[in-house]
Amino acid sequence: MAGYGDHEVSDDPLQILRHSTAHLLAAAVTELYPGVKYAIGPAIKEPPGFYYDFDFGKQVSDAELPAIESRMRRLANADIPYVHEVLPREQAIEEFRKRGQDYKLELIADKVSGDGVSVYRTGDFLDLCLGPHVRSTRDIKAFKLQRISGAYWRGDEKRPQLTRIYGTAWQTQRELDDYLKFLEEAEKRDHKKLGKDLKLFTVDDRVGPGLPLWLPDGATIRRELERFIVDEELMRGYLHVRTPDVARLDLYRQSGHAQLYAEYMYPPMRFEDGEELELRPVNCPHHIVVYQTELRSYRDLPLRIAEIGNNWRYERSGTLAGMNRVRAFALNDAHIFCTPEQLMDEVKGAIDLALYFSKVLGIDEFSYRLSTRDDVKDKWLGTEEQWEEAQAALAEALESMGQTYEVGKGEAAFYGPKIDFQVRDAHRREFTNSTVQVDFQLPQRFELEYVAEDGARKRPVMVHRGAAGSMERLFSYLIERYAGAFPTWLHPTQVVVTPIADAHNEYAQEVAARLRASRVRVEVDRRSERLDRKIRDAKLKKVPYVAVVGGKEVESGHVNAQNRAGEKVDMALESFVEMLTAEIAERRRPPQR
């Protein structure tokens, strides 16, 4: 059941505690800032905590949080009960009007039906609220205010921007400390930090925001990922193509992107002769053109056209984040053209591929979201019947595979519903990686056809799918997933060979050459440093194997190698090569920490 602020009413004790802490925050704020208007303040699951939105009528900086927090503590110690009342509508309106709480009045007008208005009192603080709450402010012991940000009233950027204060609250100090420690650890795994430390990618003002550069080691990982992805797709009957990053703007007028996706598209390049070229925000129109290079027979279907294609989207500056949200990215994209009868199998096949990639890459934790349309008519193409059919197909595919999912109303693409694979970063923020979408619109707009068994021209259905997501977002995920300690097959440097002294350089080079001959990425550390130092540096770069060679190894033709866990093996060079190449070929994942 929805609460007065569109948030869930929960009887989970932790959610209740956090919700009550939000009230405590508002109570402190109303004491410290006379005339402040409070809007809504729910408990939230991710990140775990709560927020409260205020209209301070002035700028407020996070330097003011400590004062607010200590007022909260004072109120908590004062043992003030949370008192529930159901007021007659008129009385509730009068109470909030007296307090000048316009946002609450709006909520009562819009959200509260019937005569009884549920409110909670904490001392002088009065809030429109369904509860439930803790008994007393004294029940709130472990909390912390975290940050301040802007948030639009009722999520609408055309309405006033409020000041949102975020905090977290836990049953015990111990749990709070653990959570704060978790945040610190997440900071260390952050792909932006590791991307810099490990020299995987860089972002430079001169190139532009949201346009990261893949440095050699990052590019190596990407190349491995792309090889893996493309090889697997070829094995599964996809045809890989290469198409340009630009097209005439008319192509996107026909697809509908120029009309419905314009806010993400770069302004077209216009030339003297009237030519208009557009950086592509998506690959589908190009793939449709590929489809139409021949008259297709039902025998050709399903036709699976794939490409790791660059897409250009002008994302608003405030939304950019490292490699996770950028303005140019390479999507592991494919468009499957099939008959309506084949649709279900193709959707399942796409899900299965995404699952396979997830398994190999170590994406262990994800959830499905079935993204559907909402009722805003001009946002979507096509008829409601088509949408129903497509949504049913996706839901059925998931259900037949025994998967559970949540529904994301209004999250669909403009041409059809989709299944999104939601994953979480080191901070447990959720984002979409893979996606599978059913589309009846573009085939129609481009008048796609195939010749059916009976010789009639029929219209194919399209499935859009990004099985491994974009290379950029995938990369940011993997960096955080592995904290930089990538599986050996992905790591930019698979082995560092460390001669103990100059006398062993020659043998080290032989070892390296032997490994390279088996396509192992290897470096020889010939610096005139001590062994300890070389091992330390390799470990910091999270290199999977350090192969030490000294007098004994030269003598025996062995290497003395240690992995990232510090486990040492002493074996003949050929055995080492064999062990490594097997691990790489199987794309083995490192043991869990």
| Residues 229 to 268 in contact with RNA, rule: CB under 7 A | none
Q: Which one of residues 524, 548, 573, 577 is an interface residue with RNA (CB under 7 A)?
A: 548
Q: Which is nearer to RNA, 117 or 495 (CB)?
A: 495
> How far is residue 8 from each of residues 4, 45, 116, measured CA to CA in Å?
9, 11, 19
Q: Is 431 in the site for RNA (CB under 7 A)?
A: yes
In terms of Cβ atoms closer than 10 Å to its own Cβ (0-12, 13-18, 19+), residue 172 is: exposed
The nearest distance, CB 441 to RNA, in angstroms, is 15
The least CB distance from residue 393 to RNA, in Å, is 18
Q: How many residues does the chain have?
A: 593
Nearest distance in Å: CB 135, RNA: 30
Give Cβ neighbours of residue 10 (< 8 Å, ≥ 6 apart).
Answer: 16, 19, 43
Q: Report how far residue 523's alpha carbon sits from residue 220's, in angstroms, rounded to the nearest whole number.
A: 14
Q: Name the residue nearer to RNA (CB basis): 11 or 532.
A: 532
Q: Where are the beta strands (DSSP E) in 390-455?
A: 405-409, 418-424, 430-439, 450-451
Contact pattern for RNA over residues 564 through 583, marking x by CB under 7 A: --x-x---------------
- Which residues between 346 and 365 bind RNA (CB under 7 A)? none
Q: How far apart are CA 370 and CA 347, in angstroms?
A: 13
Q: Binding segment for RNA among 123-131, 252-260, 325-333, 398-406 (CB under 7 A)?
A: 325-333
Tell me the closest approach of the beta carbon of residue 318 to RNA, in angstroms. 2
Which residues from 132-191 bind RNA, rule CB under 7 A?
147-152, 155, 157, 161, 163-164, 166, 190
Among the listed residues 135, 181, 530, 588, the single contact to RNA using CB under 7 A: 530
Which residue among 167, 466, 484, 544 contacts RNA (CB under 7 A)? 466
Interaction of residue 317 with RNA, rule CB under 7 A:
yes
CB of 376 to RNA, least distance (A): 10
Q: Which of 321, 355, 451, 579 binds RNA (CB under 7 A)?
A: 321
How far apart (Å, rounded) are the C-alpha atoms in residues 409 and 369?
Answer: 10
Alpha carbons 193 and 458: distance in angstroms, whole number: 52
Quickly tell me which residue has 């992805």 as its tokens.
229
> Between the CA of residue 469 and those of 121, 233, 241, 427, 553, what are the distances in Å?
48, 14, 17, 19, 45
CA separation for the pair 573, 560 (Å, rounded): 9
Stretch of 101-109, 225-233, 270-278, 327-335 contacting RNA, by CB under 7 A: 327-335
Q: Are 146 and 69 in contact (CB under 8 A)?
A: no
Q: Which member of 11, 113, 184, 205 binds RNA (CB under 7 A)? A: 205
Instruction: Tell me: does residue 304 bind RNA (CB under 7 A).
Output: no
In the bound state with RNA, the residue whose beta carbon lies nearer, of 56 and 356, is: 56
Q: Is 320 one of the binding residues for RNA (CB under 7 A)?
A: yes
3-class secondary structure, 77: helix
